[in-house]
Amino acid sequence: MKESLELILTGVKEKAPEIPLWIKISPDEYEQVFEFLPELYQKGLFQFVVLTNTTVRKDILEHSRSQAEKYGRGGISGKPLFPIVLSIIKEFREKVSKEIPVVGVGGIFSCDDAKQMYEAGADLIEVFTGLVYEGPSLIKELVKCG
């Protein structure tokens, strides 16, 4: 996987060296890539890592397995993902890198959620599902909570 990701990032950097690259890692792929991210970062192949993306793990849903399977093969985002994201960011900061800028994403619905992301080690946060369900007032809340 390292060679494939390095090849893709190198190709993009050659075509557009002035554009900063952010790579978004799925929690399903994290274990396969986290160890070599610092090397790719040191080579200047990306500027931010976004932790995480959606997961296809249905076991994180508060439904029976048969109910969860009805959702299909698509990714799970939002609240069910939040504890997974926090643990991945903490692990990344503790075991992998303190220097790579991290964007925390997954299940941010409140100021408290955002604070937990920052405490886990995120430098920035990305809000998507929370914005869909809470509306634009969520942005105002997040800005006020500092």
Q: Which residue type sits at 30?
A: Y
Strand partners, 23: 49
Terminal CA-CA length for the chain: 38
10 preceded by cis ω (within 30°)? no
Q: What is the pTM of this model?
A: 0.86
**Which residue segments constitute the domains of the chain, with CATH numbers given?**
2-144 (3.20.20.70)
**Euclidean distance between CA atoms 146 and 132, whole angstroms:** 21
Give the number of other CB atoms < 10 A from CB of residue 130: 26
Residues 6+ apart with CB under 8 A from 66: none
Tokens of 61: 């849903």
Strand partners, 55: 76
**Euclidean distance between CA atoms 35 and 45, whole angstroms:** 15
Q: What is the pLDDT along the chain (146 residues), one digit of tens a residue?
A: 899 999 999 999 999 999 999 999 988 888 889 899 999 999 999 999 999 877 765 565 565 555 556 656 666 677 888 999 999 999 999 999 899 999 999 999 999 999 999 999 999 999 988 999 999 999 999 999 87
**Euclidean distance between CA atoms 108 and 79, whole angstroms:** 7
Give the number of other CB atoms < 10 A from CB of residue 27: 22
